[in-house]
């Protein structure tokens, strides 16, 4: 009976992860292109390869191995296969975290906590290298909470070596192991360098330097935002998203999870000395989650074993058959609401259940190719990765990696030329821009996107020649383009 609970819970999360590839306009194209390039050339690029505005700008690739994994996955199953692959990886992370602390009589408690975590995690179920970070974090939690199996500790340096080359969240591994060592010291009252637990910690720290850029890569999480001149939605605090009509389901679940975590330490306060590790990592998880919405899954995974352990040790072990039966019914209902996509509609998520691949900019790319249009192209950030993927013969103006461009370029050129028509004239001439490929989605999040589209729509030097729900294309009014403009000109009425 208890295993039915877990099977249904894990099925629910897996099915939650099978949905529309909504991030097709974000980083997936860039990751696949780089993954293929790394495999073919057997080297990891460390400069901006895809832009004509910052072609030699140093760009450490902190997730090159994750890109290789994603590219290999796409070879076997295409984009739909990647959705399934992503769901399997995320489910693996979830299972590891929930089983990190598993005791007799704690199954119902674990399922309760698991449901809370699921509604937090669904906000970040994208096909990105970050999924591997969640898996590695799950393994760390599984190993460190099972202190009776010290042999598993020896797997952590190997996991860390993979992690440092797979995604920027790799720093979480050494941080939570350091907190584990604090608890270890409190328990044994002494430190000896010959102690295997200490030696493993030193190895975990040292392997972070085994990456294509050595110490630069090892310290990259510290410096990455030094050259970040644009606000990105996923880098905003979850409680600062009110102005962006952000779906609130995960935010409510996050708030509930944090409250439950506080209550857990209160009811289990008598054992706080034995739970310094748990307290330390939950504080790390809360801090990261409050800083950026993209970090929320880290808290959700850490929260799972911590809350299960606290409430279990405090004596909360519900095992009533009526409760079990009620949870089973609830899980069946939730699974139905996921598979018919009603839960996404209710929560205002722009996705549906299934292996759905949006067309996004395919028609716009076809329009460019069929009419033999060429750059230089001006594109906004949300269109950059897609262009790199689908129109490789053209270099982009900018892409979804602000850190891959000088901060002054982003601030004083990219943003400024969209806000100010005079600067648009200056920089469009500087870069000899011939075509504008613009993703509409940015109008929801930035003031300059709306200003730019309004200004260029009223600029006689530019003609609107293509328009759909995702992409708009403007062509410079030149003799070479006059035939295309005359044939496809759309009367612009942007307000």
Strand partners, 472: 438, 467
**pLDDT score, position 200:** 92
Residues 81 and 74: beta-carbon distance below 8 Å? yes
**pLDDT score, position 2:** 73
Angle, helices 156-164 vs 130-145, to 10°: value is: 160
**pLDDT score, position 255:** 94
Element (H, E) at 466: strand 462-467
**pLDDT score, position 495:** 60
Beta strands in 334-456 (DSSP E): 377-379, 435-439
> Residue 318's closest CA among 77, 110, 88, 127?
110
- Exposure of 227 by Cβ count < 10 A (0-12 exposed, 13-18 middle, 19+ buried)? middle
- Exposure of 303 by Cβ count < 10 A (0-12 exposed, 13-18 middle, 19+ buried)? buried
Write the DSSP assignment of 89-106 as a string of letters.
HHHHHHHHHHHSS--TT-
CA distances from 191 to 148, 173, 203, 233 (A): 19, 21, 16, 44
Instruction: Return the minimum-mean-pLDDT range out of 174-188, 199-213, 226-240.
Output: 226-240
pLDDT digits (tens, 9 = 90+) for 112-163: 999 999 999 998 999 999 999 999 999 999 999 986 667 899 999 999 999 9
CA dihedral 86, 251, 106, 1 (to 10 degrees): -60
Q: Taking the CA of residue 227 as centre, how many other CA atoms within 13 Å lie in the half-sphere pointing to its CB?
A: 15
Beta strands in 284-344 (DSSP E): none
Span 50-78, average pLDDT: 93
Q: Name the more confident of 230 and 180.
A: 180
What are the extents of the domains in the chain? 2-347, 362-488
CA distance 459 to 269: 67
**pLDDT score, position 324:** 87
Average pLDDT, the chain: 91
Strand partners, 436: 378, 474
Cis omega (within 30 of 0) for bond into 126: no
Tell me the pairing of strands 377-379 and 435-439.
parallel
**pLDDT score, position 312:** 94
Distance, C-alpha 283 to centroid of its chain: 21
**pLDDT score, position 406:** 92
Residue appearing with tokens 């009252």: 189
The domain made up of 362-488 is a member of CATH 2.60.120: no
Element (H, E) at 215: helix 215-218
CA distance 89 to 95: 10
**pLDDT score, position 441:** 83
CA distance 9 to 28: 28
Position 314 confidence tier, pLDDT thresholds 50, 70, 90: very high
Does the predicted model carry a pTM greater than 0.85?
yes
């Amino acid at each position: 009976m208890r295993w039915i609970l877990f099977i249904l819970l894990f099925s629910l999360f897996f099915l939650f992860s099978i949905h529309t590839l909504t991030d097709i306009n974000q980083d997936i194209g860039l990751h696949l292109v780089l993954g293929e390039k790394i495999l073919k050339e057997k080297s990891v690029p460390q400069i901006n390869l895809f832009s004509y505005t910052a072609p030699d700008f140093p760009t450490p690739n902190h997730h090159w191995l994750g890109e290789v994994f994603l590219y290999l996955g796409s070879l076997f199953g295409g984009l739909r296969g990647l959705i399934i692959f992503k769901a399997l990886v995320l489910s693996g992370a979830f299972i590891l975290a929930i089983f990190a602390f598993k005791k007799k009589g704690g199954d119902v408690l674990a399922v309760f906590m698991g449901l809370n975590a699921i509604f937090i995690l669904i906000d970040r179920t994208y096909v990105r290298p970050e999924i591997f970070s969640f898996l590695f974090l799950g393994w760390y939690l599984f190993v460190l909470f099972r202190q009776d199996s010290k042999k598993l500790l020896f797997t952590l340096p190997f996991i860390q070596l993979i992690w440092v080359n797979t995604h920027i969240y790799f720093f979480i591994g050494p941080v939570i192991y350091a907190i584990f060592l604090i608890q270890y010291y409190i328990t044994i009252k002494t430190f000896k360098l010959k102690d295997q637990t200490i030696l493993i910690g030193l190895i975990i720290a040292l392997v972070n330097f085994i990456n294509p850029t050595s110490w630069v890569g090892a310290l990259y999480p510290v410096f990455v935002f030094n050259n970040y001149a644009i606000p990105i939605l996923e880098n905003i605090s979850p409680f600062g998203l009110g102005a962006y009509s952000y779906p609130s389901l995960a935010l409510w679940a996050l708030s509930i999870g944090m409250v439950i975590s506080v209550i857990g330490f209160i009811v289990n306060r008598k054992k706080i000395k034995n739970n310094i590790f748990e307290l330390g990592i939950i504080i790390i998880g809360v801090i990261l989650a409050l800083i950026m919405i993209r970090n929320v899954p880290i808290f959700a995974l850490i929260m799972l074993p911590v809350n299960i352990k606290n409430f279990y040790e405090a004596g909360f072990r519900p095992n009533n058959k009526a409760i079990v039966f009620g949870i089973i019914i609830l899980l069946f209902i939730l699974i139905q609401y996921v598979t018919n996509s009603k839960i996404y509609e209710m929560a205002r998520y722009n996705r549906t259940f299934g292996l759905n691949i949006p067309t996004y900019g395919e028609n716009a790319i076809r329009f460019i190719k069929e009419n033999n249009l060429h750059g230089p192209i001006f594109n906004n950030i949300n269109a950059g990765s897609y262009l790199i993927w689908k129109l490789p013969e053209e270099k982009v103006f900018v892409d979804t990696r602000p850190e891959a461009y000088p901060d002054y370029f982003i601030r004083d050129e990219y943003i400024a030329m969209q806000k100010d028509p005079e600067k648009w004239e200056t920089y469009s001439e500087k870069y000899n821009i011939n075509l504008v490929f613009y993703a509409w989605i940015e109008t929801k999040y930035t003031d300059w996107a709306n200003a730019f589209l309004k200004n260029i729509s009223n600029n006689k030097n530019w003609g609107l020649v293509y328009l759909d729900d995702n992409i708009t294309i403007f062509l410079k009014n030149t003799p070479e383009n006059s035939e295309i403009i005359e044939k496809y000109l759309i009367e612009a009425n942007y307000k």
